[in-house]
Amino acid sequence: MDLGFKGKVALVTGAGSQIGFGKAIALLLAKEGCSAVAVNDINLDDAKLTAEDVKALGCKSVALKADVTNKDEVQEMVKKVIGEYGKIDILFNVAGAILGGGPLEEQKEDLWNREIGLNLYGTMLVSQAVLPYMKKQNYGVIVNIGSGSTHMYSHGVSTYAMSKGAIDIFTKQLAIVEAGTGIRVNCVAPGPSPTNFIKAPDKQAVIDMLAKQIPMGRGATPADIANAAAFFASDISGYVTGQVLHVSGGSVL
Ligand SMILES: NC(=O)c1ccc[n+]([C@@H]2O[C@H](COP(=O)([O-])OP(=O)(O)OC[C@H]3O[C@@H](n4cnc5c(N)ncnc54)[C@H](O)[C@@H]3O)[C@@H](O)[C@H]2O)c1
């Protein structure tokens, strides 16, 4: 099946984690024929490692340091991709993290600001920066990363779950606004996966514990998430926009 990636240029945020979803997405896009995959992270050394692995697959790549919560850095990053490759066809908003939770009366506003700033505003800022270029070419695909935590208990009053719920709504709102412009917007909502997102030293032990509540009995692999993200990014989902796909082993129905 032709996914339509030949000649396409993608930008993946949060792709520095060597065991994370962003890198899995970048490598899959490279394998499936994208001509260039630009990889962003707040940590440049990590992004460079991913870019090298993308290049080893015969795809062009550049590592770009930017904090997705910083508008100036985001605008600069997007200009660099345009300068390097002339366009951005596909954006994956992957950068994100869980920062806290617990009883509401113990939470600090600083946590709310940082968590919503990273997960929601980070996604909005990068989308905002690429949209003018996508509009000019009457083509573009944005794939956001949500979370299964929007539909289940998530360690207290979790701003993380709320920030990801807002990403679901942002996805739908932007999809409708852009539906006539050739730009599609969708969201992959992963179940738990043993990436650096899990802060415990034994990540797999955390996932195995959580997997007892997952109907399919296991956590998500980065490949599970990359496959779903690639579907949304590909031309075979050309009539699909404004959707949130839970990739979580049956946890969310
Ligand atoms: N792993 C899970 O269990 C899980 C489940 C549901 C959703 N998610 C979501 O998946 C996405 C990817 O997470 P992951 O599991 O690959 O985690 P990860 O920690 O392995 O990777 C996240 C990457 O984002 C980068 N990053 C963090 N803040 C940034 C910023 N301000 N600017 C640019 N880059 C930044 C980090 O340096 C890291 O490389 C996140 O949005 C996360 O919320 C993860």
Q: How far is the CA of 195 from the centre of ligand 1 (A)?
A: 8
pLDDT per position as a tens digit, 230-244: 999 999 999 999 999
pLDDT of the residue at 157 = 75
CA-based angle 75:97:3, to the nearest 5?
A: 65
Whether pLDDT at 73 is above 90: yes
Please give the mean pLDDT across all residues of the chain: 97
Best CA proximity match to 88, nearest among 69, 62, 50: 62
Whether pLDDT at 151 is above 90: yes
Whether pLDDT at 64 is above 90: yes
Is 219 a pocket residue for ligand 1 (Cβ < 6 Å)? Answer: no
Identify the CATH class of 9-245.
alpha beta
Q: Is the dihedral of CA 218, 94, 26, 8 positive or negative?
A: positive
Is 229 a pocket residue for ligand 1 (Cβ < 6 Å)? Answer: no
One-letter amino acid identity for 212?
A: K
Whether pLDDT at 155 is above 80: no
Q: Which residues are catalytic?
A: 160
pLDDT of the residue at 102 = 87
Pocket-testing residue among 44, 195, 245, ligand 1, by greatest number of atoms within 8 A of Cβ: 195
